[in-house]
Structure 1
Amino acid sequence: MRIGLITPDPGHTLLAAATALLAPEHTVGVLDPAARDGAPARPADVYLLKSRTERALELARELEQRGAAVVNSAAATALCQDRTRMAELALGAGLPFAETRTHDSLSAWAPGAALSGPVVVKSRRSRRGDLVARVDDGTRLGRLARDWPHEPVVVQEFAPNSGWDHKLWAIGDRVFCALRRSELSPGGRGPTRPLPLDELPAGWADLVRETGAVFSLEVYGVDIIDVGGGKPLIVDVNAFPGIRGQAGAPEALAALALRRATGRTRATR
């Protein structure tokens, strides 16, 4: 089988480990979106899309139009970058997702905002270095508006919780999990701690898989907070996150790539 990686960083821990498993019997190639003007004339059997830049999405769309299998699809990856569309899809599907309001810019919303309690303000477009902040009063909101005046944002009511995010990842049907101190906690983001899957509250692993089905994702992350008594609240969904340090993740990714490559080859025949 021929497997392609759409990424500027093939040395990423998860990709490199999966490549090492695949390379002895299969051909693994790399497409750096920034270094290409278009898709190769002869696509591979499957591509793993580990980049969210617009050029990467354009490359993935072109490959899909030529009949290549792409994990995750360009459409699913792009949807996860828009927190407004993410919330609409999740809430419409009945998932326990935070109620979300959208504003065109912080400078337009902040002057007339009436805060009845703490809220979480996030950039509408999910990206590295984006805005994610807890706002308790008008003073804090005013500072954010000065620092991010033209930023389109989503606003969610702050849900009291333990201060720990449950980081859940899935590769196909395989679920992995860990705990990470939330960036919204008083001490800021802390290290990631391993969490055995059997220590998750009942039903959470199935909720992750349901979320993947709703968002048409195959490699993805779901951030959940416990709002009391094991009740989950989804606060974010990510396409193809790092999933570093999770035993069995490279094996699961390699197996998924081969399943998708085999399925595409059979369909072509």
Structure 2
Amino acid sequence: MRIGLITPDPGHPLLAGAAALLARDHVVEALDPTPPGDVPVPVPRRPADVYLLKSGTPHAVGLARELERRGAAVLNSAAATALCQDRTEMAGLALRAGLPFAATRTVGGPFSAWASGSPLAAPVVVKSRHNRKGDLVARADDTAALRALARAWPQEPVVVQEYAPNSGWDHKLWAIGDQVFAARRRSELSPGGQGPNLPLSLEELPPGWADLVREVGEVFALDVFGVDIIDTGGGTPLIVDINAFPGVRGQAEAPAALASLTLRRAADHRRPRV
């Protein structure tokens, strides 16, 4: 079997660990979706049996769409990956599905123009609309702070979420197929910064949180994904972000889970449909 990795970083610990396991019996090929000179990467003439899409850039998603069109299985699908890159669409689907997702509004037009005419009555969290590495995620407690953010990111398309009081810890939950992993870390909005992920067993999570993560996977048609949750009191979860194919760092069993899921997905894709 041939297995493709759509990523500019095949040495990422999760991918590298899974690839090492898969390479014992299969051929594993890396496909860098980053185009030189902004020229799209050629689609392989003979696609692999299954691809792991560990990139959410427009070029990577476009490449995955074409591979799907040519009959390859892609995990996560191009459509599901693209959905998680747009926080407006993400929030809309989550809220329509009844998930406990943070109320999210999209700022129309340049951030700077909106902020200059919007006095702030309560703290908010401002995020880039388009989910990507190095994007904007910041808390603004007052109008001055909001306008300072807008001066730093004047043309950035953003969404705004009401700030929900919480313990100051983010719960990072990840799913690889049906297997859920968990950690906590200081919120990126905390003054001291995030700090390291601290692994958690599922037994340490509030009741129902692991099932909530699996429900997110069903709603968003995701196979490998992360869900950022804050505890707003008494174990009440609030989802603040969803990520397609996150790193799942610090989880020793994650590479084996990914390798196993990859083979199952390829087998399911090959199986004739009745």
Class of the TM-score when normalised by the shorter of the 2 chains = over 0.9
Stretch of structure 1 that moved more, 172-181 or 35-44: 35-44
Query: What is the alpha-carbon distance in structure 1 between the residues aligned to residue 102 and residue 48 of structure 2?
Result: 39
1:64 to 62, 68, 72: 68
Distance 1:242 1:196, change over 3 A: same
Paired residues for 1:204-223 under 5 Å: 204-223=209-228
- Residue 157 of structure 2 is aligned to residue 152 of structure 1: yes
**Aligned counterparts, 1:47-86, within 5 A:** 47-86=51-90
Correspondent of 1:102 among 106, 111, 129: 106
2:237 corresponds to 1:232? yes
Instruction: Report the counterpart of residue 203 of structure 1 in structure 2.
Output: 208
How far apart, in 1, do the equivalents of 2:228 and 2:246 lie? 11
Runs of 4+ with >6 A deviation: none
1:22 aligns with 2:33: no
**Alignment match, 1:13:** 13
2:43 aligned residue: 39
Q: Please report how far the alpha carbon of residue 176 of structure 1 lies from its aligned counterpart in structure 2 after TM superposition.
A: 0.1
Rounded Cα–Cα distance in structure 2 between residues aligned with 1:45 and 1:268:
17
**CA–CA distance in 1 between the matches of 2:151 and 2:22?**
50
| Equivalent runs, 1:120-135 vs 2, <5 Å | 120-135=125-140
TM-score, structure 2 normalization: 0.95
Q: TM-score, normalised by structure 1?
A: 0.97
Partner of 2:10, secondary structure, is: coil
Aligned to 2:3: 3
Report the equivalent of 2:259.
254
Q: How far 1:114 moved relative to its partner?
A: 2.8
Task: Please state how far the C-alpha of 1:138 moved relative to its aligned partner.
Answer: 1.1
Shift of 1:186: 2.2
Deviation readout 1:101-140 (Å, 9 max, x if unpaired)? 1112211211221322111011111111111111011111
Q: Report the Cα distance in structure 1 between the residues aligned to 2:273 and 2:44, rounded to whole angstroms.
A: 18
Q: In structure 1, how many angstroms separate the alpha carbons of the residues matched to 2:252 and 2:207?
A: 22
Q: Which runs of 5+ in 2 are unaligned?
A: none
Q: Which amino acid aligns with 1:32?
A: D
Counterparts of 1:151 and 1:8, CA distance in 2: 25
- 2:249 match: 244
Q: Does 105-114 or 1-10 show the bigger shift?
A: 105-114
Q: Does the alignment pair 1:111 with 2:116?
A: yes
C-alpha contact (below 8 Å) 1:38/1:62 kept by paired residues: no
| Matched-pair identity in % | 72
Where 2:29 maps in the other structure, the secondary structure is: strand
Query: Paired residues, what number?
Result: 269
2:197/2:250 contact within 8 Å kept = no
CA distance in 1, matches of 2:23, 2:237: 40
Q: Which amino acid aligns with 1:103?
A: V
- List alignment gaps of at least 5 residues for structure 1: none
1:34 CA drift (Å): 2.2
Deviations 1:130-160 (A, max 9, x none): 1111101111111111111111111111000
* d(CA) in 2 for partners of 1:157, 1:253: 35
- Post-superposition CA distance 1:85-104 (Å, at most 9, x none): 00000000000000011112
Looking at structure 2, the residues matched to 4 and 223 of structure 1 have their Cα atoms a distance apart, in angstroms, of 28
- Mapped to 2, the partners of 1:118 and 1:34 lie a distance apart of 38
Question: Post-superposition shift, 1:39?
Answer: 1.5
Residue identity in the other structure for 1:247: A
